[in-house]
Chain A
Amino acid sequence: MKKVIVIGLDGFEPKIAEAMMARGELPNLQKVREQGGYSRLGTTYSAQTPVAWSTYSTGTNPGGHGIFDFLSRDPKTYLPVMALSRYEQKNAFVLPKVVNMRRGTPFWDLLSARDVPSTILRVPCAYPPDPVKGRMLSGVGVPDLRGGFGTPTFYSTRKDLHADQSEKVVAVRVENDRVATQVIGPRDPKTKSDHKFDIHIQIVRAENKIVITSQGQPDKLEVQLGKWSKWLKVKFKVGMMQSVAGIVRFNLRQIEPEFELYASPVNFETEEPLFPISHPKEYAHELAMKIGRYYTAGMAEDHDGLNLNRFDEATYLEQCRIVMRERRRMMEFELGRFERGYFYCLYDTPDRLAHMFWRFREAEHPSNRHHGYNAEYANAIEEHYRECDAVVGEAMKAVDDETLFIVLSDHGMNSFQRGLNLNTWLYENGFLALKPGVQPGESGDFFENVDWDNTKAFALGLGCIFLNLKGREANGILNAEQAEQTREGILKGLSGLVDAERGAVAVRSVSRREQVYSGPYVDEAPDLLVNFSEGYRVSWDTPLGGVPRGLFTDNHKRWGGDHVIDPALVPGVLFMNRKFRADSPSLVDLAPTILNVFGVPKNAEMEGSDLLS
């Protein structure tokens, strides 16, 4: 064989897919299954996109690539930090450099060394991109222009609006059907204010639209009521001498009685991205010239706009379709010129869509009490899976007798009805201390009011517990022996924890890191991992280090599905057009399988084995 084509469907849930296949609703995937086979695919501890795809890339467990969660903590400050990449600046006079925190050796490095080319579109945790032979476009990990995963802006004439976490709210005034305002760009580290780009909005009431005039491209952009606009290229002057370009889309929510406009997070522009997002550097722009502008941010889907109620489900679905369309154009263009080697394209949308529509599968989901239940969306995920199946059908056109064709997901998806306040549990059980006089509920994000001199363990991220170890954490208090006692105590107390209100087991088990990880980066892993039951997750207050009141809380957000539970409960899917060993394959097996197609031996670190042998 001389080609391997891999289509990634992030978060594609086997239970839903299997039921649909049984009903004949996924004909293309069914065809692949009949040609070769299908199996559930073992995921990683923990079952998260960056962790799982890094294991796919390197063929090692997370101990071999160093990505354990979206978040980690800085032992010097106890503050949560982004775990996927880091910005390093040698001194104040040079630009910071992005450093990928995924380590280990991705299998395409081995292919490159043997002259086998790769085309890799949107692989997570390759920011900055790997210098592959061929082409690579970075995926999850690429920030927006403000440096985060995505900060949208909401313009409104309403006076009572306040910005929630991860958005900007701009109060505007309509005068003679005109609005003068600005697109919000990156923060200036010196002045701490935001760089802005002027836009002038003309309201055309008769046609239910606005026209945005600016110095950007195009100079006049039409936005229809309720519709997503095309891309606007904007430029922020970040000094007298320098500027930074970005692209932004709008959605006009309302003209009257109030004027309301949503602006997407400002994505990197491909011609002059702030940091490299492709290899070769020019590739991202070459692609844009062929297929048009596209979302470059790792998190392309505007889930926050929906979560914060800035727009509705239908608008989110429409935006997801735009993302899918852009991705599909990328895939089709590249498959059209793909002759040999490794091809990969990831569709993130099945994951981002299911997070937001899972609640409609469960009428009793607590989120529905707050946001209403709409039976129309009960099958939204299935409908999207059909779209994914069509994408698979399109990719199959490039498959010939000499092609190994693989469709897989990194993890599944499940319900998120109840959240556990992990730090509050640690507090109630004597593992975490608050400053004198402070009660749970009086300690906000970033471990506010935590008494580190008396704290043995703390939780952050999506189910990680770290020990306050002497010599490792800034105010560490535990010696090795006490650390082990603490771990034992937490493990015993938390395993099998029952949610009294529901009479259900919320935590199935707790894993010690050395039980589930091996390799050079285990030292960086959380000391304990919490494996939740179906329907549970860490609460919204936990990931950034909050200690709220009470152990369990209902999940009231529209984000009603999740997958950061016991990895055994959320495997992914694996389809191949060749018969393969279906005895519990897992993500580590893909690298050796793909390498072997090209006769390239796996390296010593790779733990899996060729599924075709």
Chain B
Amino acid sequence: MNILVLNFPGAERAALFSDERLENLRRLMDMGCFGALAASGEWNVLARQQNHTLTLMEYFQQADKLCVDTSDPLTLREKLSVGDWDYLQYTAASFPAGNWSADDYLRLDHDLGEALQELSDDTVILILGRDCFVLVSANNPISGEYAGGAAADIAPTLVQLAGFPLPSVTEGRSWVQGMELNDSSGLTADEQQILRDRLSGLGYV
């Protein structure tokens, strides 16, 4: 599994989750889970070990994964189109730090739509706002609104969805700990029925 994190620190939950024009975001919300994030901890910290803070990035680097951290939209676009990454973390710097206008949200959705075009099915997608998240992954057993999550829970949850072992002690708690992950092939529907639906009403057959 690849992991894509799109971080928009200026986006607020109230606007992000209520604007019906944000088609791409809403589609992802329906595919996965979303919710508010309590501000405790940092989303990208997996564990604190004595004098060392283990970030998600470091964790995946240690696992020999190709990691990218960028805030440049051009780099993001290029990386996505070439596909040479396993873990990609993007912090949107081309957006205001706060007080977003309606247009900023539309631009987020547009950029998101472009990014989605380049992904493969086995990607874990995390979208972060100032105080909220959307998390999509074919194997994610949680759907709909998820309450009570904290920023610190993000890192262990991502690690588990991506199929990696958790360190013995983690900063937050993984939401999918102890849950059975979905069979990712479960997304495809019954082919023959789809076929019958498609040919339904042709008249000639």
Instruction: Judge whether A82 and B198 touch: CB under 8 Å.
Output: yes
B84 on the A face (CB < 8 A): no
Chain A residues within 8 Å of B94, by CB: none
B197 on the A face (CB < 8 A): yes
A265 on the B face (CB < 8 A): yes
Chain B residues within 8 Å of A307, by CB: 203
CA of A166 to CA of B204, assembled, Å = 12
Given known pairs A70-B202, A299-B203, the reply for A93 and B28 (CB within 8 Å) is yes
CA of A28 to CA of B31, assembled, Å = 57
CA of A540 to CA of B202, assembled, Å = 12
CA of A544 to CA of B88, assembled, Å = 46
A275 on the B face (CB < 8 A): no
Instruction: Judge whether B27 and A241 touch: CB under 8 Å.
Output: yes
A240 on the B face (CB < 8 A): yes
CA of A93 to CA of B192, assembled, Å = 23
Question: Nearest Cβ distance between residue B35 and chain A, in whole angstroms?
Answer: 12
Instruction: Judge whether A148 and B200 touch: CB under 8 Å.
Output: yes
Instruction: Judge whether A147 and B125 touch: CB under 8 Å.
Output: no
Chain B residues within 8 Å of A304, by CB: 201, 203
- A526-569 contacts to B (CB < 8 Å): 540, 543-544, 559, 562, 564
Q: Which one of A186-194, A328-336, A358-366 is at the interface?
A: A186-194
Instruction: Judge whether B117 and A242 touch: CB under 8 Å.
Output: no
Chain A residues within 8 Å of B205, by CB: 70-71, 540, 543-544
Residue on A with the closest CB to B32? A93
A79 on the B face (CB < 8 A): yes
CA of A92 to CA of B2, assembled, Å = 14
Instruction: Judge whether B200 and A241 touch: CB under 8 Å.
Output: no
Instruction: Judge whether A190 and B197 touch: CB under 8 Å.
Output: no
Instruction: Judge whether A166 and B200 touch: CB under 8 Å.
Output: yes
CA of A267 to CA of B116, assembled, Å = 29
- A121-147 contacts to B (CB < 8 Å): 143-144, 146-147
CA of A239 to CA of B134, assembled, Å = 15
Chain A residues within 8 Å of B26, by CB: 239, 241-242
Instruction: Judge whether B190 and A192 touch: CB under 8 Å.
Output: yes
Chain B residues within 8 Å of A189, by CB: 187-189, 194
Instruction: Judge whether B197 and A192 touch: CB under 8 Å.
Output: no
Chain A residues within 8 Å of B111, by CB: none
- B111-139 contacts to A (CB < 8 Å): 113, 116-117, 119-121, 123, 125, 136, 138
Instruction: Judge whether B198 and A143 touch: CB under 8 Å.
Output: yes
Proximity bits, A165-199, B CB within 8 Å = 1, else 0: 11000000000000000000001011010000000
Instruction: Judge whether A81 and B195 touch: CB under 8 Å.
Output: yes
A446 on the B face (CB < 8 A): yes
Instruction: Judge whether A240 and B29 touch: CB under 8 Å.
Output: yes
Chain A residues within 8 Å of B66, by CB: none
Chain A residues within 8 Å of B197, by CB: 146-148, 151, 187
Instruction: Judge whether A544 and B199 touch: CB under 8 Å.
Output: yes
Count contacts on B: residues with CB < 8 A to the other chain. Answer: 39
Chain A residues within 8 Å of B193, by CB: 187, 192
- B167-187 contacts to A (CB < 8 Å): 186-187
Chain A residues within 8 Å of B186, by CB: 190
- SS class of chain A's interface: helix, strand, loop or mixed? loop
A303 on the B face (CB < 8 A): yes
CA of A238 to CA of B119, assembled, Å = 23
Given known pairs A81-B195, A146-B197, A148-B198, the reply for A241 and B30 (CB within 8 Å) is yes
Question: Nearest Cβ distance between residue B6 and chain A, in whole angstroms?
Answer: 12
Given known pairs A166-B200, A543-B204, the reply for A92 and B29 (CB within 8 Å) is no
Instruction: Judge whether B187 and A92 touch: CB under 8 Å.
Output: yes
B52 on the A face (CB < 8 A): no
CA of A543 to CA of B200, assembled, Å = 13
Instruction: Indicate which residue in A148, A187, A544 contacts B189 across the interface (CB closer than 8 Å).
Output: A187
Instruction: Judge whether A91 and B199 touch: CB under 8 Å.
Output: no
Chain B residues within 8 Å of A562, by CB: 204
Question: Nearest Cβ distance between residue A425 and chain B, in whole angstroms?
Answer: 18
Instruction: Indicate which residue in B113, B117, B199, B204 contacts A564 across the interface (CB closer than 8 Å).
Output: B204
CA of A147 to CA of B199, assembled, Å = 8
Instruction: Judge whether B116 and A93 touch: CB under 8 Å.
Output: yes
CA of A352 to CA of B203, assembled, Å = 9
Chain A residues within 8 Å of B138, by CB: 92
Instruction: Judge whether A355 and B203 touch: CB under 8 Å.
Output: yes
CA of A143 to CA of B201, assembled, Å = 10
Chain A residues within 8 Å of B117, by CB: 90-91, 94
Given known pairs A166-B201, A265-B201, A299-B201, the reply for A147 and B27 (CB within 8 Å) is no
CA of A240 to CA of B189, assembled, Å = 20
B163 on the A face (CB < 8 A): no
Proximity bits, A238-255, B CB within 8 Å = 1, else 0: 111110000000000000
Chain A residues within 8 Å of B188, by CB: 189
CA of A28 to CA of B29, assembled, Å = 58
Residue on A with the closest CB to B26? A241
Residue on B with the closest CB to A304? B201
Most chain A CB within a 10 A radius of its CB, from B27, B123, B195? B195
A478 on the B face (CB < 8 A): no
Chain B residues within 8 Å of A151, by CB: 197, 200-201
Instruction: Judge whether B199 and A148 touch: CB under 8 Å.
Output: yes
Chain A residues within 8 Å of B194, by CB: 147, 187, 189
Chain B residues within 8 Å of A143, by CB: 198
CA of A70 to CA of B199, assembled, Å = 9
CA of A352 to CA of B113, assembled, Å = 41
Chain B residues within 8 Å of A540, by CB: 205
Instruction: Indicate which residue in B27, B30, B120, B192 contacts A446 across the interface (CB closer than 8 Å).
Output: B192
B73 on the A face (CB < 8 A): no
4 A-B pairs with least C-beta separation: A150-B201, A239-B30, A148-B200, A241-B26
What are 15 A-B contacts defined by CB distance under 8 Å?
A70-B204, A70-B205, A82-B198, A93-B31, A93-B136, A94-B117, A148-B196, A149-B202, A166-B199, A166-B200, A187-B194, A239-B27, A239-B29, A242-B30, A352-B203
Beyond the given A146-B197, A189-B189, A192-B193, please list 4 additional residue pairs across the A-B interface where CB-CB is below 8 A. A91-B117, A92-B187, A93-B31, A187-B193
